[in-house]
Structure 1
């Protein structure tokens, strides 16, 4: 089929939502993807300029299958919106990845083709793959991996307040220049924090045992369970699989895919097996 020919009666009806970041980052790839999609489908093109317009365009798709042209943040936004609609099986979604390479790691890890042309063709004739979703108790979603790293400096020591750490560093440097010889620097201590981690009600780690990080990854198998890994400074990692994971303790931040959230005192993530569909290459 040439680009000049109209799509046939059997062509899919698509809603193509082009994220504004993609338009600014790589307009040529956006144009090529749009041409491929328009040639092979009955496509309605939307050019939202804000998250609100993005959400309204997606909510008004009717019977059209959504295709997002953008990066990992655009993908997360679309899945979050579809999840909140509470559709029984959630609309199958396509992604044409356009953006900086560092902003497309999630898309590539899920199996989306790297090139805009290949991804656009997949949106036309690929196959739907059902994927698990991690949903927290505030209705936030995680498509791939959740990580809770320990941060340098405990809250209240000054390291969590902008400018305080640099002032103290300058003072210490001045003292070292006035007093000789300078004492040797103590060995670096890896940051840790104290968290209680429960997997399906079983306590894997309590507040008396410091941890370096907690990682929860969905979609690691066909059993609808998430892989849980707790890294500690001086012991072997603790690993298990679970349907629900609860983390609690002092204020902590977490990274859900590419988005940092928090601080929170407690949060529970639950696996929703096969909760969303992504168009991937057939076969």
Structure 2
């Protein structure tokens, strides 16, 4: 989109004016991964939407290099609700300035037993047609924008799930059963907390009050269920999945 291209140009100008930045415009997932792998000691800055940030964090997690990286993000595109929830300022100028002058914040994340990561939260059942689902079929440029590798040398100037009907799920938190298969469930949400190594778990039942707990691990078992992570990816169908909290596992530069 023309507006997205203009936003990328503005962000690039602000970053290059305030640092020695190397700008990469990857043409696909392979080039995106290659650019990230060649970052060296430079700080990766993702210019794009939530899907681009999640892809970058996932790549470094799977390379076991996530702990040593500090991400910055300039949100561009329509699907940036995850970025907003993490505290990333909106707009190319504010986002680029936060990348230049922001403070490193260590954040928790969820890792599942298939090595997938969740930054902001997951829901069961998945939202049927949110903004993230619509972006899945868009061109690579709209989904991932640009990856800026730079900032090593600076200048002197400093959604709730839709109601899809009850499901039969067993939900366990730290080994304790919250709801078993004989209790219909309207929805489940799991979100990492603010740096305390625990997840906030909410189970919404059909005829009773929600069950809300905090736990380090959450296991869901059921018949071919799907889940939505960070409002951008849909996982499954699976019959069992466990998510574990990794405390302060990644870093994001924020104002």
Q: What per-residue deviation string (whole Å, max 9, x for no partner) do you get for residues 64-88 of structure 1?
A: 1100100000010011011112127
Look up the SS of the partner of 1:26 in the other structure. Answer: helix
Q: 1:272 and 1:150 mapped to 2: Cα distance?
A: 23
Q: TM-score, normalised by structure 2?
A: 0.83
Q: Does 1:271 align with 2:249?
A: no
Alpha-carbon spacing, 1:191–1:274, altered in 2? closer, same or farther (3 Å): same
- Aligned pair count reads 220
2:207 to 219, 225, 234: 234
Instruction: From the CA coordinates, give the structure whose radius of gyration is larger.
Output: 1
Look up the SS of the partner of 2:40 in the other structure. Answer: coil
Q: Does 1:125 align with 2:101?
A: yes
> Which one has more relative contact order, counting CA pairs under 8 Å at least 6 apart?
2
RMSD value over aligned CA atoms? 1.8
Instruction: List aligned pairs for 1:190-209, cutoff 5 A.
Output: 191-209=165-183
Query: Which has the larger strand fraction?
Result: 2
Q: 2:109 and 2:182 mapped to 1: Cα distance?
A: 31
2:186 aligned partner: 212
Contact kept? 1:93, 1:278, Cα under 8 Å:
yes
Q: 2:61 and 2:3 mapped to 1: Cα distance?
A: 27
Q: 2:59 and 2:66 mapped to 1: Cα distance?
A: 14
Contact kept? 2:73, 2:99, Cα under 8 Å:
yes
Q: What per-residue deviation string (whole Å, max 9, x for no partner) do you get for residues 249-274 of structure 1?
A: 10000000121111000000000000
1:69 to 26, 29, 47: 47
List alignment gaps of at least 5 residues for structure 1. Answer: 1-22, 153-188
2:121 aligned partner: 145
2:62 aligned partner: 84
Structure 1 segments of 4 or more deviating over 3 A?
none
Q: 2:104 and 2:47 mapped to 1: Cα distance?
A: 17
1:32 to 5, 10, 14: 10
Look up the SS of the partner of 1:204 in the other structure. Answer: strand
1:225 aligned partner: 198
1:110 to 76, 80, 86: 86
Contact kept? 1:194, 1:211, Cα under 8 Å:
yes
Q: What per-residue deviation string (whole Å, max 9, x for no partner) do you get for residues 134-185 of structure 1?
A: 0000000000011012899xxxxxxxxxxxxxxxxxxxxxxxxxxxxxxxxx
Q: 1:237 and 1:28 mapped to 2: Cα distance?
A: 45
Contact kept? 1:82, 1:90, Cα under 8 Å:
no
Q: More deviation in 79-88 or 119-128?
A: 79-88
2:155 aligned partner: none
How far the C-alpha of 1:114 sits from its partner, in A, is 0.6
How far the C-alpha of 1:92 sits from its partner, in A, is 0.4
Q: 2:171 and 2:100 mapped to 1: Cα distance?
A: 43
How far the C-alpha of 1:223 sits from its partner, in A, is 2.0
How far the C-alpha of 1:221 sits from its partner, in A, is 3.5
